Structure 1
Amino acid sequence: MKTGMLSYKNLGGYGSVVQQKGKGGKANAILDYLNKTSLIILPAAFLLGRISLLGGLMPFGIALYAATLGLNINRIMISVAIFAGMLTTGATIQLYTAIVAMLLFNAINIPFKKSLGSPLRIGIIAFAGVLVPEMVLTYLQGFLMYDVIKSFINGFIIFALVFVFKNVLEVLGNPSRRYSLTNEEILSIAIACALAVGGLGSWSILGVSIRNILCIIIILVFSFKTGSGNGAAIGVIVGTVISISSNSSPLIIASYAFCGLLSGILRNMGKIGSCVGVLMGNALLTFYTNGSTEVLVFLYEIIVSIVIFMLIPEKAMDSVVAKFDKSLAARGDKKGYSLRIKEITVEKLNKFSQAFGEMARTFEEISETKAITEKHDITAIFDRVADRVCKDCSLCAHCWEQNFCNTYQVMFKIVEKLDGKGWIEQKDIPQYFLERCERVDEFVKAVNNVFELFKVDMVWRSKIGESRGLVSQQLKSMSTIISNLANELNTDISFKDELENQIVLELTKAGIKNADAVVYENKYGKYEMTLTYRGCGGKRSCISSVEKIISDIVGRKMVKEGSECGLNSKTNTCTIRLAEEEIFKVITGVARMAKEEKHVSGDNYTFLNTGDGKYIGALSDGMGTGHKACMQSKATVNLIEQFMESGFDKDTTVRLINSILVLRSTDDSFATIDISVVDLYEGEVEFCKVGAAPTYIKREEYVEIIKAASLPAGILSDVEVELIHKKVGSGDFVIMLSDGIIDAFKDCQDGVKEVQNLLQAMDSKNPQKIADDLLDAALSHCPRKEPVDDMMVLVSKIWRPK
């Protein structure tokens, strides 16, 4: 990644404090400077000055000195710290090389003093600055090829390390950057820390190597908190630096890497598991390579490291590791509480779905008892008639006890007559029963009365059974909705960590402070992101620049969702959502007219962008005209809008609306449903039609008719939903209309075909004009130019911005 020079103002104001202070405050300014920078950089410079490799090369201090060029850091103090470190190792010739190289470096940079140097230029100058004194020494020593190669190697190492130390100094100079580090910066910091630890050399306390202890602690911390992969990587870096900066065997690299790997694998056992992993890794690898039990790192050094590691609080380790491992910072703990909450939520939703499903089955079973109920209630007719007429009759015992079978046969014959005629007369009763019965007139009247009550009762029972079936459908729909929500929650969201880091880095470079980003890929494969940063005070000047920066990074056109400002005035932070810009746009025109002199139209419509790349147009025609039809269609349109915007699928939406219309009242409550859903990314349209008039797609060459045969919603308790898919392109029109438009062309042989011909003849590109012209054409075919029914035309133009 390209590394730019930090401007003076971006370095935390270390030097500006001194310049702004008066004479009386210079001591405080110097103390403030030392507290902020020297506490880290000066000790690091001293340790880096101590490291030597390849038989006497000491390039690390010179590279650090070169990397400080252009930064607000006292370079004299840095050079003194480097020289002091070199002197502690007894360096003489290397000290001469460093002094001359630094002087030449400053001299070559004099022409560029007023400009900030790029890492490439600084690296080249540093390479040239160190090569001159090295070649002079090589000449004095006989100009051996070995010395020439060693001199070039020294220069190349310094050239490469300039980029490493530049990354580290950039992070140190901008504290807010420490929470959005790139992979290059993390690697640079790891190398710099490992080099600084290597500078400790053979220093020891009571025979225990400080360098080895720090290396083991670093491996333990990172493997324990971030896993085996990062633990092994840290082990490789630490082992490599220790190996090349000391007389240690190269096997130390494998030892540290293997220790980090096993420590990370056993971290599920806690700190003790990670410690056992280090012990096992070092012992096993040493025994395998040497064939003995002598460890590469002394056992007592590992034990001391383990004791210190066990005493370090986990919060302290999290605060350090989270700066390098963003996934750990986002997770916040190693127990996965957020994952557990997700699992509990999904489990609860699935249980709710099962409960609604069971309730739906129960209502469905209850609603299917009509046949059994009818057989049972036929005998109830006999009991009621006998109770009303025969109970106090003197011949009751004769009819219902002595001649029970004959009486029941008569009653069944009477029921047959009732089923055919709906009532009975005396002539419908068998003659032998008439001759025996003393209350024939009362008997006929009672039978007719009870049967009438029975029919009313059966009608209401049928209504209740139908209502139970509709409730069953609604409960099934609710079960499906909750189940789909559980599945959606249970889907692993693909967060883009690398992209988040890059976005925060670029926003910070652009001067947008305290930036944070959350980027993920939705189920449609499109990027969505939430950005938080310090606000601009409501001026909205940041939106265009943020959209441009994000679009350049992602490689896709990203736009802000909604038009409102995301500023929180209390915290002065902005929170905005960005989504991929839709490929297609839709603009809609509407024309409608109520029947005759009525002020209210029975046709209603809606169109909206759901925000997930879908554009919905919907039209509903209520039964009849006037206020009642308007209320029916308005309720249907409102439900479509609410359900579709909430993410319900079209099948569930239509079934719920149908069941609501059926249950709404005892009166007939019918309404057509006509829905068109445009995919603004793919250019596809999905049509859902329930009792609706045909829809037309006007293309450049021809007009296509979309129609489906079905009854309006609210007539039948169950409705069949047919979905039709069509492809559209830029410049196409989707024309939805009510049946009042088609009915206006009754004088034509085929009204549907006539509308198609009219649309084919129109050459306007304005959807509102097409809607107006079609309505005017329909009116011109009506008697006395007055509409015979409510009329509505909804025209949506689909176009692709260039």
Structure 2
Amino acid sequence: MEQWKEKLNTWGKWVGMTGVAIWVIFSLFDSKSAGYSTIEVLVLFSVLFFGYRYGAGAGTICATICGMCISFFTGQLNYLAMLAILGLMSGAFRALGKIGSVVGFVTTAAGIGMLYSLEILKNSWIELGIGVVLFWILPGYLTMPEEKRQTVVTIAPPMNDFDGSIGMRLRKIEEAFLELSKLFAGLEVEPALGEEEMLWRCRYMENRMVFGEQMMELAEMIRSFREELGRSTDITMQVNQAIRERLTEMNLKVDRISMVEGENKRSELIITLCAEFGQSVSVKEIAEQLSRAIGRKLRPQGDRAGAVGAQLKTIRLEEETQFQMLYGVARTVKEESECSGDSFSFLELSGGKVLMSLCDGMGSGERAFEESRRAIELVEQLIEAGFHPQTVLRLVNQAFVMNEEFHPIAIDVAVADLYTGLCDFTKSGAAVTFIRHGEQIEILQSETLPIGILQETLPMESLYRLKDGDLVIMMTDGVLEAIQGNKKEDVLKEFCLTQQGRNPREIADKVLEFAIGQEENRIAKDDMTVLVAGIWKK
């Protein structure tokens, strides 16, 4: 249906232009045979056209010139005054769009005709009607007001000049952080004189090494960011005309437009704009309209939806993903505990990615929950900032090691790319994760210690390409420990294979119910959380 609308819109433009051309050609051969004056039609059309496109001043000037020519040949100065008023009114209502200028133009002409009984209006209603119709059927980009054509389009800086400006600055910053990391790692410390001083200096060395590693990680992130921007291509000018035309048709005033395309050919569009005439336009509707205009399906980035009103607003649109993910969670609390020590997160990121994270705090209760909650929030912030998942868990580990009040925690993180289906699983002391594909289940296990025990840790990382209909089942160790026998993973795996549904929430509920059923008297001995996510093609 939308494709047919686009075709009809294109055909309408060509029909309008063809109709005007045919009328002009035939009228030049015989201007009186049809019972109307071609000259009067051209005069009235020109006044309306120039007044709407260039403003009241241009409309008045055009009308004055036409009026002087007519008055010179006819000897009636009334034409001059009458056309000047029409030119002024055609531009006075241009803020209301085409319909506003047409209504103002026709109403003014009718008022002048009734008040002064001028012959050119009394006998020129046919010419007036033809002029208005010609103006109305012209394509929007020909009659578009000039200030809308001069929309500021900025890209700072052009991507092909990236290495010569911001790229050079980022490279210098990267080098500075690398030198800082080497400096902190290479400082020599004098031998300690006593046990207390030795302990203090050991603690100092640990903190210094942590700080040096953080500088190294930051330098690596800046390098990755610089390379990513350097691979981007500015394609704003290629799509600027189509975008601007469509936004103008939606009565949206554009301040800035930029569009970049990465090496993977995914587009990101950034627009600063506002709505005219007091209306409000949803960002989702803007994305749908621009998708049809440029031939690429766009969507609001992350959770940045909402609407565009009278105030300038910057919106970010990204190319639609191939997949979508839905999740469900099921939880229970340890017996006699008021609060679960588990925390989880399911967050839609920019760039068409989704973050799933599950944290198991030591023990149960408010303290365990507070520590797991803070860890999850830190993971979210670092992932959104662009850090690699393995780097994120190393930084969280360092933060927990340096704070003696924190207890060890187990973290499970998965970042899925909804364009390709590639998912990065990273674990640190976490329980198993099941990936179900049809009648097969793959088990991901972690052999690393929980966060907050050792100064240095290397979280387990594995990549897996998810396919249409796959399910990711994450859980805390309370679920696995409830299973009877020595082969707990195999028992739980077989149970998951027996489940025929594909609803993530239902799967999570059934897995949790199965684990509780394994406990004596169905009493949970530990907090249990099951997080299930399903991926499907759109």
Q: If the length of structure 2 is used for normalisation, what is the TM-score?
A: 0.71
Distance 1:710 1:704, change over 3 A: same
Q: 1:480: Cα distance to partner?
A: 2.1
Distance 1:622 1:606 in 2: 14
Q: 1:586: Cα distance to partner?
A: 1.3
Q: Give the aligned partner of residue 742 of structure 1.
A: 480
Specify the SS of the correspondent of 2:489. Answer: helix
1:352 is the counterpart of 2:92: no
Distance 1:342 1:32, change over 3 A: farther
Q: 1:179: Cα distance to partner?
A: 3.5
1:676 is the counterpart of 2:414: yes
Q: 1:172: Cα distance to partner?
A: 7.2
The 5 Å alignment of 1:654-693 reads: 654-665=393-404, 669-693=407-431
Distance 1:36 1:632 in 2: 69
1:499 is the counterpart of 2:499: no
Specify the SS of the correspondent of 1:600. Answer: coil
Distance 1:731 1:692, change over 3 A: same
Q: 1:25: Cα distance to partner?
A: 8.0
Distance 1:35 1:583, change over 3 A: same
- Structure 2, unpaired ranges of 5+: 1-9, 21-44, 64-75, 91-104, 106-129
Distance 1:724 1:491 in 2: 26
Q: Give the aligned partner of residue 352 of structure 2.
A: 613
Q: 1:478: Cα distance to partner?
A: 2.2
Q: 1:695: Cα distance to partner?
A: 0.5
Q: 1:456: Cα distance to partner?
A: 4.5
User: Out of 202, 209, 216, which is 1:469 matched to?
Assistant: 209
Contact 1:678 1:686 in 2 (8 A): yes
Q: 1:540: Cα distance to partner?
A: 3.9
Specify the SS of the correspondent of 2:463. Answer: strand
Q: 1:504: Cα distance to partner?
A: 1.9
CA deviations on 1:132-157 (whole Å, 9 max, x unpaired) are: xxxxxxxxxxxxxxxxxxxxxxxxxx
Specify the SS of the correspondent of 1:547. Answer: helix
1:726 is the counterpart of 2:468: no
1:584 is the counterpart of 2:323: yes
User: Out of 304, 307, 330, which is 1:565 matched to?
Assistant: 307
CA deviations on 1:633-679 (whole Å, 9 max, x unpaired) are: 222111101001111111321221111111111x5631112111111
CA deviations on 1:458-503 (whole Å, 9 max, x unpaired) are: 3443333222222221222222233334444555542231211122
Amino-acid identity (%) = 26
Distance 1:523 1:776, change over 3 A: same
Contact 1:567 1:575 in 2 (8 A): no
Distance 1:527 1:492, change over 3 A: closer
1:362 is the counterpart of 2:183: yes
Distance 1:173 1:473, change over 3 A: closer
Distance 1:588 1:529 in 2: 28
Distance 1:533 1:364 in 2: 49
The 5 Å alignment of 1:90-239 reads: 171=142, 174-176=145-147, 178-179=149-150
Distance 1:593 1:177, change over 3 A: closer
1:712 is the counterpart of 2:454: no
AA paired with 1:565?
Answer: A
User: Out of 772, 782, 788, which is 2:519 matched to?
Assistant: 782
- Structure 1, unpaired ranges of 5+: 38-71, 73-111, 120-165, 181-325, 381-453
> Number of residues paired by the alignment?
443
Distance 1:740 1:768 in 2: 19
Q: If the length of structure 1 is used for normalisation, what is the TM-score?
A: 0.49
Q: 1:27: Cα distance to partner?
A: 3.1
Q: Which has the higher helix share?
A: 1
Contact 2:423 2:463 in 1 (8 A): yes
CA deviations on 1:101-124 (whole Å, 9 max, x unpaired) are: xxxxxxxxxxx99975999xxxxx
User: Out of 296, 311, 329, which is 1:556 matched to?
Assistant: 296
The 5 Å alignment of 1:263-282 reads: none
Distance 1:520 1:587 in 2: 29
Contact 2:280 2:308 in 1 (8 A): no
User: Out of 366, 379, 385, which is 1:627 matched to?
Assistant: 366
Contact 1:537 1:567 in 2 (8 A): no
CA deviations on 1:264-293 (whole Å, 9 max, x unpaired) are: xxxxxxxxxxxxxxxxxxxxxxxxxxxxxx
User: Out of 573, 590, 599, which is 2:338 matched to?
Assistant: 599
Contact 2:398 2:452 in 1 (8 A): yes
Contact 1:171 1:178 in 2 (8 A): no
Q: 1:544: Cα distance to partner?
A: 6.2
AA paired with 2:534?
Answer: K
1:512 is the counterpart of 2:254: no
Q: 1:539: Cα distance to partner?
A: 4.8
RMSD of Structure 2 on Structure 1 (CA): 4.1
Distance 1:495 1:514, change over 3 A: same
Distance 1:177 1:456, change over 3 A: closer
CA deviations on 1:341-362 (whole Å, 9 max, x unpaired) are: 9855444443333333223223
Q: 1:532: Cα distance to partner?
A: 4.9
CA deviations on 1:379-416 (whole Å, 9 max, x unpaired) are: x6xxxxxxxxxxxxxxxxxxxxxxxxxxxxxxxxxxxx
**Larger-Rg structure:** 1
Distance 1:542 1:662 in 2: 46
AA paired with 1:355?
Answer: A
Q: Which has the higher strand share?
A: 2
Q: Give the aligned partner of residue 694 of structure 1.
A: 432
Contact 1:366 1:465 in 2 (8 A): no
1:27 is the counterpart of 2:59: no
1:758 is the counterpart of 2:495: yes
Distance 1:596 1:353, change over 3 A: same
Distance 1:26 1:648, change over 3 A: farther
